Structure 1
Amino acid sequence: MPRSQRNDNFIDKSFTVMADIILKMLPATKKEKEAFAYYRDGMSAQGDGEYAEALDNYYEALKLEDDDYDRSYILYNIGLIHASNGEHDRALGYYHQALELNPRLPQALNNVAVIFHYQGEMAKEAGNDDQAEKLYQQAAEYWKRAIRVAPNNYIEAQNWLKTTGRSQIDVYF
């Protein structure tokens, strides 16, 4: 049974009903509507922690979706799943694909920075200070890009940039 036909709780029921109404009213082709349905089911499964099911739905959505902007969000969500599973290199690959299609996707920029920062921390713990510094610098560049797109977000990143001297801008927002 498709996830969209399951009604586990009031919020899920409401979301499903609204999404179905919007889907029916959208002036879109059958293929576009089918892609959206897979994407919606992927988001629902991801929200429930059913990552394998979410990935299956996202991959189906990718097969059908032609719009680069919409594809960027599908790729971003696939990256989220891989990151949450600790597969940072795979996640980076999907985030970069999403950014190729939508360079102003701040959440993907932020997540790339978070992974680089984490890898920098791991390199530092391993005693590889030069590698750590390179990774921190990469994190800083991605955070600066994310903050330029969404200046009121990523306050902790803004503080880190300022306190580490990686940004000369005093206030982004």
Structure 2
Amino acid sequence: MPRTQRNDNFIDKSFTVMADLILKILPANKRAKEAFVYYRDGMSAQSEGEYAEALENYKEALELEEDALDRGYILYNMGLIHASNGEHETALDLYHQALECNPRLPQALNNIAVIYHFMGEKAKQEGDEDGGEALFDKAADYWIRAIRLAPNNYIEAQNWLKTTGRMQIDVFF
């Protein structure tokens, strides 16, 4: 039974009904509609912590989806799962692929920065000051790019950039 037929809460049921209605009226081909169904099921599984199922659905959606922007969101969500499982290299790869499909995805830029910052902290804890600083510089580059796309977001990153002196100019205005 497809995941969308197993939804047992009001919000999921409502989302499923709305999504099914949109699918029926959208002027999209069968392949695009199938991709959306897999993507929707992936998001539902992900929200319930069923990461293996979510990844399977996202992989199916990725095989069917032709639109670059939509592929970017699929790859981004796959990156979220891998990042939450501590698979940072895989997550970084998926976020970079998402950015290749959609360069205007500030949340992917932010998540890359978060991973580099985490890796920098870890390097410093292990006594690698230079390596940690290099990773912090990478994080700064990605946060600056994210903030340029979404200047009202990532306030903590903006503060970190200012307090660490990694922001030479005011990139927000």
Q: If the length of structure 2 is used for normalisation, what is the TM-score?
A: 0.98
Contact 1:69 1:101 in 2 (8 A): yes
Q: CA RMSD in A?
A: 1.0
CA distance in 2, matches of 1:31, 1:171: 41
Query: Which consecutive aligned stretches of 4+ in structure 1 deviate over 2 angstroms post-superposition?
Result: 168-173
Matched with 1:121 is 121
Q: Give 1:27 shift.
A: 0.4
Q: Counterparts of 1:1-173 in structure 2 under 5 Å?
A: 1-170=1-170, 172=172
Alpha-carbon shift at residue 6 of structure 1 (Å): 1.6
Percent sequence identity is 76
Q: Quote how far apart the aligned CAs of 1:91 are.
A: 0.3
TM-score normalised by L of structure 1: 0.98
> Is the contact between residue 61 and residue 74 of structure 1 (CA under 8 Å) also seen in structure 2?
yes
| CA contact 1:46–1:54 (8 Å) conserved in 2 | yes
Q: Tell me if structure 2 keeps the 8 A contact 1:120–1:136.
A: yes
String of CA shifts for 1:129-163, please: whole Å, max 9, x gaps: 00001000000000000000000000000000000
> Letter of the aligned partner of 1:164 in structure 2?
T
Matches of 2:23 and 2:169 in 1, distance apart? 43
Query: Residue deviations 1:71-98, cap 9 Å, x none?
Result: 0000000000000000000000100000
SS in 2 for 1:27: coil
The alpha carbon displacement at 1:170 in A equals 4.3
Letter in 1 for 2:38: Y
**Structure 2: how far apart are the matches of 1:83 and 1:23?**
31
Question: What residue ranges of structure 1 are gaps of 5+ in the alignment?
Answer: none
